[in-house]
Amino acid sequence: MSKRLSVIDVDRCVGCQSCMFACARRLGEGGLAASCIGVRSQGGMRRGFVVIVCRACSDPPCARVCPTDALTPRSGGGVRLRHELCIGCGNCAAACPFGAVFWDRAQSKPQICVYCGYCAAYCPYDVLALEEIAQEVADAQR
Amino acid sequence: MLKDDPLARVLYVDLSRRRFWVEERRELFEECLGGTGVAVRLLEEECPTGADPLGPENPIILAVGPLAGLFPMASKTVAMFKSPHTGNLGESHCGGRSAVSLRLAGYGAIVIRGLSPSPVYLVIDGETVQFRDGAALWGVRSSYTVGSVLRDHTAASGLRTIMRIGRAGERCVTYACVIAETYRHFGRLGLGAVFGSKRLKALVISGRRSLPVKDRKAYREAYDAIFKAATGSPLMQKYHELGTALNVLPLNEIGALPTRNLQLARFEGAEAISGERLAREYLGRRLACAHCPVACIHLAALRIPHPREPYFYKTSMLSYDHEPIYALGSMLGGSDVSGMFMLLDEAEILGLDAMSTGVVLAWATEAQEKGLLSQSETGGLTLRWGDYPSYIEAVRRIVSQPGDFYRSLARGVEYAASLYGGADFALAFGGNEMPGYHTGPGAHLTYLTGALHSHLDSAGYALDQKMAVEGITPTPEGVAQALLAEERWRQVLGSLSVCFFARGVYTPEAALHSLAAAGFELTADELNSLGQDTLRRKYAFKLREGFDPAALRVPRRILETPSPLGRLDEDFIRQAVARFAAEVREG
All domains of chain A, ordered by start, with CATH? Answer: 1-53+113-135 (3.30.70.20), 57-98 (3.30.70.20)
Quick check: B227 and A18 CB within 8 A?
Answer: yes
Domain limits, chain B: 6-206, 244-417, 433-586
Cβ separation of A44 and B182 shorter than 8 Å?
yes
Residues B43 and B51: their CA atoms lie apart, in Å, by 11
- Helices B354-369 and B413-420: crossing angle, nearest 10°? 20
Q: How many CB pairs under 8 A join A and B?
A: 97
A142 has pLDDT over 60 = no
Concatenated DSSP letters for A83-141?
GGG-----HHHHH-TT---EEETTTTEEE------TGGGG-TTS-EEEEEPPHHHHHHH
**Cβ within 8 Å of residue B328, ≥6 positions away:** B334, B340, B343, B344, B347, B354, B357, B358, B391
Instruction: Spell out the residues 6+ positions from residue B571 whose beta carbon is closer than 8 angstroms to its own.
Output: none
**pLDDT truncated to tens, each residue of chain B (587 aa)?**
999 999 999 999 999 999 999 999 999 999 999 999 999 999 999 999 999 999 999 999 999 999 999 999 999 999 999 999 999 999 999 999 999 999 999 999 999 999 999 999 999 999 999 999 999 999 999 999 999 999 999 999 999 999 999 999 999 999 999 999 999 999 999 999 999 999 999 999 999 999 999 999 999 999 999 999 999 988 888 899 999 999 999 999 999 999 999 999 999 999 999 999 999 999 999 999 999 999 999 999 999 999 899 999 999 999 999 999 999 999 999 999 999 999 999 999 999 999 999 999 999 999 999 999 999 999 999 999 999 999 999 999 999 999 999 999 999 999 999 999 999 999 999 999 999 999 999 999 999 999 999 999 999 999 999 999 999 999 999 999 999 999 999 999 999 999 999 999 999 999 999 999 999 999 999 999 999 999 999 999 999 999 999 999 999 999 999 999 999 999 999 999 999 999 998 76
* DSSP letter (8 states) at residue B320: E
Which of B416, B351, B428 shows the shortest CA–CA distance to B173?
Answer: B351
Considering only the beta carbons, identify the residue of B70, B217, B288 that sits closest to A30: B70
Count the neighbouring beta carbons within 10 Å of the beta carbon of residue B170.
24
Q: How many helices (H) and strands (E) does chain A have?
A: 4, 9
Cβ pair B147:A44 closer than 8 A: yes
Compute CA distances B180 → B51, B61, B77, B146, B205, whole Å: 27, 16, 11, 11, 11
Length of chain B: 587
> How near does any CA of chain B get to the CA of A66, in Å?
25
CATH of domain B433-586: 1.10.599.10
Q: Is the ipTM of this complex over 0.90?
A: yes
CATH topology of domain B244-417: 1.10.569
Burial A14-41 (b: 16+ CB within 10 A, else e): bbbbbbbbbbbbbeebbbbbbbbbbbbb
Mark yes or no for CB contact A32/B289 under 8 Å.
no
The third-level CATH classification (topology) of the domain covering B6-206 is: Aldehyde Ferredoxin Oxidoreductase;  A, domain 1 (3.60.9)
With CA atoms as reference, report the closest residue to B95 among B165, B151, B163: B163
B568 within 8 A of B440, measured Cβ to Cβ: yes
pLDDT higher at A141 or B253? B253
Whether the CB-CB separation of B261 and B360 falls below 8 Å is answered with no
From the list B100, B181, B217, the residue facing A45 with the nearest CB is: B181
**Separation of alpha carbons B299 and A11, rounded Å:** 14
To which H or E segment does residue B534 belong?
helix B524-544
Test the A interface: residue of B287, B294, B501 with most A CBs within 10 Å: B287
Q: Pick the residue of B282, B285, B318 with the most A CBs within 10 A to test the interface with A by mutation.
A: B285
* pLDDT reported for residue A141: 57
Query: Smallest Cβ distance to A38: which of B158, B212, B293?
Result: B158
State the DSSP code for B247.
G
Alpha-carbon distance A99 to A62, whole Å?
10
Taking the CA of residue A14 as centre, how many other CA atoms within 13 Å lie in the half-sphere pointing to its CB? 24
pLDDT one-digit tens code per residue, A62-94:
999 999 999 999 998 999 999 999 999 999 999
- Residue of B584, B385, B363 whose CA lies nearest to B485: B584
Between A14, A25, A34, which is nearest B220 by CB?
A25
Taking an 8 Å cut-off on Cβ atoms, the answer to whether A43 and B147 are in contact is no
Instruction: Give the whole-angstrom CA distance, residue B113 versus residue B453.
Output: 25
